Structure 1
């Protein structure tokens, strides 16, 4: 079996006893009651997954879920193992004008004495998982669920960082709403992108609490959370709930910003229309006076310079009066 990248580690009584173990020994390691193994596969092809499924007699549904992109985050229990699909989420500088959210699918099979994780992208989170397992031997000394907790905990922490980024961007957009020097179209594009990113982000973080809750639930199957690790998963569930609630509040806030932006644009349009109406009224008065004095009938000053000065005086006085009135009412 040729893989793009394989990382593996074996523990005995919480201590690392082997690293970089070839995948050919997977069946033997998983059958060893005295060790705990973790195999992490990066970007395997279909042949690799199929060979893995045949060697471990994996359910074909889990194989399809691991290979298909865009699967919904979920967890499924089987008599001899547990399967879960979740996502890592980070913000990257991409050329996509609609979204900068980078999501990476992670599929995990959990057996009584080992864990197998599969993902398409090279995730820096895996290194962080190993660091946490090294810093907390209690996790690996209590079975495969310790490794599962470390994986999920790192992913949820990444969700926290992503939510914090969204929160900072939302604050920046709020400041730009009332800044007349900022291009309105730029603000609208930024709000639209935020809405798309948050929708995608919520699809990832909302099912996470269900995943943690299902894993933590007591079970008679071969793979279950030991009592000593229950506080760890309870804390993880609390963190997943906080991210979920944070994403909901951010979505509502972005929707409010979108509506506020539309209201500001409507208010600016009303102000422009009000000014145009004021100036139109001022211009209409001279038109009325000149039209009146242009009639072919005798009037005061007709045919004499006095008539010109009377019309000019009426135009100036009426225009100034209307201007002052409209200015006082803040129409112009």
Structure 2
């Protein structure tokens, strides 16, 4: 359940003198200004998180949301604590699929508790990175929240970058000379973009609050860093809108190309039918059995009929070729 737990004093990680599950003692260790506990949990059960909730006096509604997961990104206040939910994303290129995870953050005086769900929601790299900058960690738990949010939003940019590559491939395929069937892949990418938007768009409001100082427990010195996260988040939203527009245009172009190809097919079929119909017409007239038909008694009537058929076919073929029907 516990992935990592640490006490930070003056921006430096301390070795707590208690067992990781002794949450009361762990929290009591964060007694000085700027001291805080960062407790990281992965997919805990309700009973496991209840122990943490009791020690840190977490609100039961927030605890329920953190256990069940599948929440939309949001920021809620419960007394003197904040509850932040972020969606994590990672891309499975082989399937053109965006997979999602979730991170729930409990932020309060002297503590940050992160509850992770999903394979792509690891925070060890973010924790190690922020630990190399004690000046930031000295600002308290809001610095750790920034590290989490920054890592998550960087993940969004990575996913959108990979999707940009796939959208470029779709555009190349749609406008190639080969006959392609891109509608299914376009639909898949549009569906996965919707998943990205469900993670990005609702998170903008909480980040605005952190960046503008409208949220308690955020050190004013951390606001510029949250503004940077907000800028990246806005960039993600713009990229998602742009890719959505490109995919819509590619789908319309794909349908237009299918229509043009069908028209070309019909012209070729019509031209082929004409090459058969004209000789058939000549043969039908020549084969009518009437007494007074000069052609019936003419020695060269049969060769003349064959020559007329061949000439008509060659003439039609040259005309259709010149006009682009064949």
Q: 1:322 aligned to 288, 292, 316, which one?
A: 316
Counterpart residue number, 2:189:
194
Misfit runs of 4+, over 4 Å: none
Match of 1:231 among 224, 228, 246: 224
What residue is the counterpart of 1:128 in the other structure? 125
CA-to-aligned-CA distance 1:121-161 (integer Å, 9 cap, x gap): 35564121112212221221011110000000011111111
- Count of matched residue positions in the alignment of Structure 1 and Structure 2: 322
**Distance of 2:17 and 2:101 partners within structure 1:** 23
Q: For the Cα contact (< 8 Å) 1:125–1:154, is it kept in 2? A: no
- Change in CA separation of 1:93 and 1:314 when aligned onto 2, cut-off 3 Å: closer
- Provide the alpha-carbon RMSD of the alignment: 2.1
Q: CA deviation at 1:320?
A: 1.4
* 2:300 is the counterpart of 1:302: no
- For 1:217 and 1:61, the matched residues in 2 are separated by 27
State the distance in 1 between where 2:219 and 2:249 align.
44
In the alignment, structure 2 segments of 5+ residues that lack a partner are none
Q: What's the TM-score, normalizing by structure 2?
A: 0.91
Asked if the contact 2:102–2:121 (Cα under 8 Å) also holds between the matched residues in 1, the reply is no
1:169 deviation in Å?
A: 1.1
Q: 1:199-278, aligned counterparts within 5 Å?
A: 199-219=194-214, 223-278=216-271
* Greater mean alpha carbon deviation, residues 65-74 or residues 117-126: 117-126
Helix, strand or coil for the counterpart of 1:40?
strand
Q: In the superposition, relative to structure 1, how do residues 77 and 124 fare at CA in structure 2: closer, same or farther (>3 Å)?
A: closer
| Alpha carbons 2:126, 2:148 under 8 Å: kept | yes
Query: Given that residues 36 and 140 in structure 2 are in contact (C-alpha distance below 8 angstroms), is that contact kept between their aligned partners in structure 1?
Result: yes
Is 1:85 the counterpart of 2:82 in the alignment? no
Range 238-247 or range 307-316, more displaced? 307-316
**Unaligned runs of at least 5 residues, structure 1:** none
TM-score under structure 1 length normalisation: 0.90
Provide Cα deviations, 1:256-281, integer angstroms capped at 9, x if missing partner.
11221221122111111111111112
Match of 1:145 among 142, 165, 189: 142
